Amino acid sequence: MRPVIGITGNRRNGDQGREELWIPSTYGDAVRLGGGLPIFLQAASEDAETLAEIMDGLLLSGGGDLDPRLYGRANAGSEPPDPQRDAFELAVFAAMRRRGKPVLGICRGMQVIQCAMGGELIQDISRALGIEHPSDPAWRHEVCLTEESFLSTLFPTQFLVNSTHHQAVGVPAPGLRACALGAQGRLVEAVEAADGSPVWGVQWHPERLTDQAGMRGLFTMLSEACLKG
C-alpha cells in the first residue's frame, strides 16, 4: 500500500491572468521514488481538516517568504508574501500535527514549521549574517550533523547540499531542535521535533538530488513513517 502524501505549492498568474497552482514535478517524482502517492494541494484553509483526515503525510514545499507579521516582526528584507498560502500551510500543518501524522518541510516548508511552532526567521541571511546562497543549481555547500537525528542513518557527519534561499530558521522554536548546521555553525540547516514525533525540516532541496541515496532516503523515511501511523 502506498501512503497518500499531500504536497503544497505556489500560486501564480498564468496565461490571460488566470491563477495557477505551480508545483515543480521534482517533488512528486521524489515522493513516488520514496514509495508514496503524491497529491497536489490547492491553498484553501477551510479544507485543512478534511485534507488531514484523507492524507497519510504532508510535504511542505519550497517557495516565497512567509509574512513576518506571522512571527511578530516588521519586514526586514522579506519579499511580498502570499497570505492565502501562508494561512493554508499553517492550518494544514496544525491539523496534521494534532493527528500525529508525518510532516516533512523543505526550504520554505521548514520555515513554515518553525513559524507554526512559535519561532522566528532570519529574514535576509545576507544582511543579517553576511552569508550568500546564490541561485545556482550547481552550487553546493557543506552542512554538519550536530547530534543523533533523523539524518543520522542517511548521511555522514559532513556532506554537501544545494540551496537557494535568503531566509533561514533563527533560534529553533519551542519543541524543535536543530540537527544540522551550515556556515561554520551559524545557519540552521535541519530541524526535527524534540519529542520524537514525525516532524522534520531541511533547508536544502533533496527533491533535486534524488540521484543520491541519502536524499532519496528522506522520502522513503517519510513514506515509511506514514505507513507506521
CA angle at 128 for the pair 126 and 133, rounded to the nearest 5°: 25
Q: What is the pTM of this model?
A: 0.96
Q: What is the pLDDT of residue 93?
A: 98
What tens digit of pLDDT does each residue of 82-134 get? 999 999 999 999 999 999 999 999 999 999 999 999 999 999 999 999 888 87
The full set of domain ranges for the chain reads: 4-228
Q: What is the pLDDT of residue 118?
A: 98
Question: Taking residues 183-195, what's their average pLDDT?
Answer: 94
Q: Residue 26 above 90 pLDDT?
A: yes
Question: Taking residues 42-70, what's their average pLDDT?
Answer: 96
Query: Domain spanning 4-228: which CATH class is it, in words?
Result: alpha beta
Q: What is the pLDDT of residue 137?
A: 83
Q: What is the pLDDT of residue 13?
A: 76
Q: What is the pLDDT of residue 56?
A: 98
What tens digit of pLDDT does each residue of 132-176 get? 887 788 889 999 999 899 999 999 999 999 988 899 999 999 999
Active-site residue set: 107, 205, 207
When the pLDDT of each residue in the chain is averaged and rounded to a whole number, the result is: 95
